Amino acid sequence: MRISVFALLLLPGCLSAQVTALKIGHLVNPENGTVAANQVVLIENGKFTAIGTNVPIPSSATQIDLSQYYVSPGLVDAHNHLALTYKDEPEHNSYYLTTVMDSTAIRAIQAVSNGITMMNAGFTMVRDLGNNGNYADTALRVAIEQGWVPGPTIINSGIIIGGFGGQFYPVPERESLIEPEYLNADTNDEIVKAVRRNILYGAKVIKICVDCKPYGYTADEMRLFISEAAKAGLKVAGHVQTHAGALRAIDAGIWSVEHSGALDDETHKLMAKKGIWRVGTETPFTSYHTNTPGAKQRFDRQVEGMKNAYANHVNMAFSTDADYYIPGMDRGQVVIDFLKSWQAAQIPAPEILKIMTVNGYKVSDLYEKRGLIKVGFPADLIAVRGNPLEDLDTLRDVRFVMKDGIFFKKDGVMVPGPFFHSGPVPPSAWRIH
Ligand SMILES: [Zn+2]
C-alpha cells in the first residue's frame, strides 16, 4: 500500500512531540483499590510515558496541576446506543418513529453530541450495540478516531443480527421497517453473510438477538456466529430476554449476555463458571415513569438480580442501554445516574469503580490495550474532587477529562483540544483493519 507524504503529515503522532506533565495528588488504581499520593505522569504522543513519585519533569513540558484531585482511569458504559434517542417514552416502542422520521445522517450527528456528553460525564469508552440506522455507529467511531470530533473510544456492533424481524413487529405492508435497524439472518448461510457484512462496514463486536422471537437462535447457530466473528477477532454479544435463551447462549459460550431480566441464580452460576459477561443494563429510571404500573417492583427485582450476580462472582459490567431522553438531562448525565442501581445493590464502592473501569475494558476486549493508567497505554483519565473508592457520588462531578493525551475538560469546563481537523476521509475509513 502506497502512502503519501501528505498523509504521513496528518498522522497524530507527527503533530507534536510536546510532553505534558500531570501533577496528581491522588492516583486511584481501581484494579486493587489503592491510592498513590503525589504522582507525576508524563504524556507524549498521546501515551503515558512515565508514572511515579520521582519522575523528573522536562523544562519544556506543559504542566497541569491536579494535586487537589483524585485521578482515575476513564469510565465505561458497556451498552449504549449513541445514535438512537426515542421520540417518546420507551414503553411506547417509539423507536419505530425514529426509524421512520430520522435519517442515518441526522442520527450520526446526534451521536456526536451524545458522545460529547458521555466524555463530559467521564466516560472515555462506550460499547455501542446497534440500533444506529445504517452504520451511524461506524461513522461516529471513524470520526472520533480521525480526530474530527471529540468522543469516547467506540466499540460498535454495526447492525443487530436476528431471526426474521429482529426486535421489530412490522405489519406485512411495512416489512421494510426492519431495515436498517436489523439484519435478518435465518439460516447458516445468512448468519455467515450477516456477520461478514457487519465486519466489512466497521463493526468491532457482533450483536445478535438471541431470543427476540419464538424462533430464536439455537446454541449451534450461536456457535456459528462466534466462530465466524472470531475470524476477524470479534466477540459476540447476545440480547437475551428469556430464561431458555439465556441457557442456550451460555451453552454456546457467548461473550456477553446483554440485559438481565431473564437471569437468575441458575444462569448466574453457569455464567460465573464460564466467565461470561453480564451486561445487565439495570435502569434506575423506572421511577421516572411514575405512571408505569409496577415501576418500583421492577427496580427492586433488578437490584435483587445484581445482588445475586455479585454474590455468585459473575463478571459484571456497568451498562445502561440509554437510548431515551429524560427531560433536563443529557446522555452523559442519564448514564452516570445509573450509579443509583449499583448503590441500591449495596455492592462496595471499590468494586463498583472496578466494574466501571477495569471490567469495562475487559468486556470491550481492550484490557491489554487501553483504559488503565500504565506506561505505553493511551493517555485516558479523569479527575474528581473526592475519593471514588469511598464516595462514588464524586463521579457525578467529573472535573477533568483527557483522552489520547488531549484535554477535553479542565476545571469542570469542556475545553476540547485540537480535535477539529478538516482533513479528507481516509481511504481506510470503512476498511476492516
Ligand atoms: Zn440496547
Q: Flag whether pLDDT at 63 surpasses 80.
A: yes
Any domain includes 180 = yes
Would the pTM count as exceeding 0.85? yes
Are residues 216 and 269 both part of a single domain? yes
CA distances from 399 to 229, 333, 381 (A): 39, 14, 11
In a domain, 433, yes or no: no
Q: How far is the CA of 63 from the centre of ligand 1 (A)?
A: 41
Mean pLDDT of 386-406: 97
Q: How many angstroms separate the alpha carbon of residue 302 from the centre of ligand 1?
A: 16
Domain assignment present for residue 291? The answer is yes
Q: Do 9 and 88 belong to one domain?
A: no
pLDDT in tens, 281-300: 999 987 665 567 788 888 99
How much distance in Å is there from the Cα of 78 to the middle of ligand 1?
A: 10
CA of 298 to the centre of ligand 1 (A): 18
Backbone angles phi, psi at 426, to 5 degrees: -70, 150
Q: Are strands 413-414 and 406-410 parallel, antiparallel or unpaired?
A: antiparallel
The predicted pLDDT at position 11 comes to: 42
Q: Enter the C-alpha cell of residue 13.
A: 503522532
Beta-strand pair 256-258/277-279: parallel
Order of strands across the sheet that contains 236-239 = 182-184, 160-162, 206-209, 236-239, 256-258, 277-279, 315-316
The predicted structure's pLDDT at residue 295? 84
Same domain for 79 and 35: no
Could you give the CA distance from residue 238 to residue 225 in angstroms, rounded to a whole number? 10
Return the C-alpha torsion angle 359, 230, 132, 279, nearest 10.
-30
Span 409-418, average pLDDT: 84
Query: How many angstroms is it from 311 CA to the middle of ligand 1?
Result: 25
Place of cell 447458516: 188
Bridge partners for 413 per DSSP: 410
Ligand 1 center to residue 258 CA distance, Å?
8
Residue 177 three-state SS: helix
Regarding whether 351 and 219 lie in a shared domain, the answer is yes
Residue 135, phi-psi category: left (phi > 0), alpha (psi -120 to 50), beta (remainder): left
Mean pLDDT of 381-398: 98
Location of C-alpha cell 456477553? 256
The answer on 381 and 241 residing in a single domain is no
What does the buried/exposed string (b/e) look like for 191-217 if buried means 16 or more CB atoms within 10 Å of the residue's CB? bbebbeebbebbbbbbbbbbbbeeebb
226 part of a folded domain:
yes
Is residue 429 included in any domain, yes or no?
A: no
* 111 CA → ligand 1 middle, Å: 15
How far does the chain reach from its first CA to its final CA, in angstroms? Answer: 13
Same domain, 329 and 389: no
DSSP letter at 36? E
pLDDT tens-digit map of 196-221: 999 999 999 999 999 999 999 999 99
Distance (Å, whole) CA 65 – CA 44: 17
**Ligand 1 centroid distance, CA of 84 (Å):** 10
pLDDT at 1: 45
| Strands (DSSP E) found in 45-188 | 47-52, 62-72, 75-80, 123-128, 153-156, 160-162, 182-184
> For the domain that residue 34 is a member of, what is the CATH number?
2.30.40.10
pLDDT in the model for residue 430: 52
Q: Give the structural domain span for 19.
A: 5-73+372-414
Count Cβ neighbours within 10 Å for each residue of 136-173 and write b for 16 or more, e otherwise: bbbbbbbbbbbbbbbbbbbbbbbbbbbbebbbbeeeee
Instruction: Quote the pLDDT of residue 426.
Output: 59
d(CA 11, ligand 1 centre) in Å: 34
Q: E-strand spans in 212-317?
A: 236-239, 256-258, 277-279, 315-316
44 & 107 share domain: no
Residues 85 and 69 both lie in one domain: no
Question: Is the confidence at residue 15, as pLDDT, over 50?
Answer: no
Looking at residue 310, what is its pLDDT?
Answer: 98
pLDDT of residue 427: 56
In a domain, 428, yes or no: no
Contacts of 187 (CB under 8 A, 6+ apart): none
Both 250 and 276 in a single domain?
yes
CA–centroid distance, 187 to ligand 1, in Å, is 24
Contacts of 114 (CB under 8 A, 6+ apart): 80, 82, 83, 85, 330, 331, 332
- What is the predicted pLDDT for the residue at 206? 98
80 CA to centre of ligand 1 in angstroms: 6
User: What is the rounded CA–CA span in Å between residue 154 and residue 124?
Assistant: 9
Region 405-428: what's the mean pLDDT? 74
CA of 307 to the centre of ligand 1 (A): 22
Mean pLDDT over the full length of the chain: 91
For the segment 300-356, what is each residue's pLDDT rounded down to a tens digit?
999 999 999 999 999 999 999 999 888 889 999 999 999 999 999 999 999 999 999
State the total domains in the chain. Answer: 2
CA of 79 to the centre of ligand 1 (A): 6
- Which is more confidently placed, 94 or 161? 161
298 found inside a domain: yes
The pLDDT-based confidence of 27 (bands split at 50, 70, 90) is: very high
CB atoms within 10 A of CB 225: 25
Does residue 432 surpass a pLDDT of 50? no
Residue 2: pLDDT band (50, 70, 90) is very low
Across the range 360-383, mean pLDDT stands at: 98
In this structure, the number of other CB atoms found within 10 A of the CB of residue 99 comes to 20
Task: Kindly tell me if the per-residue pLDDT of 423 is higher than 90.
Answer: no
Above 60 in pLDDT, residue 4? Answer: no
For residues 67 and 95, membership in a common domain is answered with: no
> Could you tell me what percent of the chain has a pLDDT over 70?
90
Which uninterrupted H or E stretch holds 227?
Answer: helix 219-230
pLDDT of residue 425: 62
Chain position carrying cell 453530541: 113
Q: Is residue 13 very low, low, confident or very high in pLDDT (cuts 50, 70, 90)?
A: very low
- 39: nearest Cα among 28, 58, 53, 50: 53
Is 378 among the domain residues?
yes
Residue count of the chain, please give it: 433
| C-alpha 322 – ligand 1 centre gap (Å) | 7
Mean pLDDT on 101-111: 94
The pLDDT, as a whole number, for residue 93 is 59
**Residue 216 and residue 141 in one domain:** yes
Residue 205 grid coordinates: 463486536
**Residues with Cβ within 5 Å of ion ligand 1?**
321
Mean of pLDDT values over 207-236? 98
Q: What is the mean pLDDT of residues 60-67?
A: 97
Mean pLDDT of 160-181: 95
Residue 110 shares a structural domain with residue 27 = no
CATH, residue 225 = 3.20.20.140
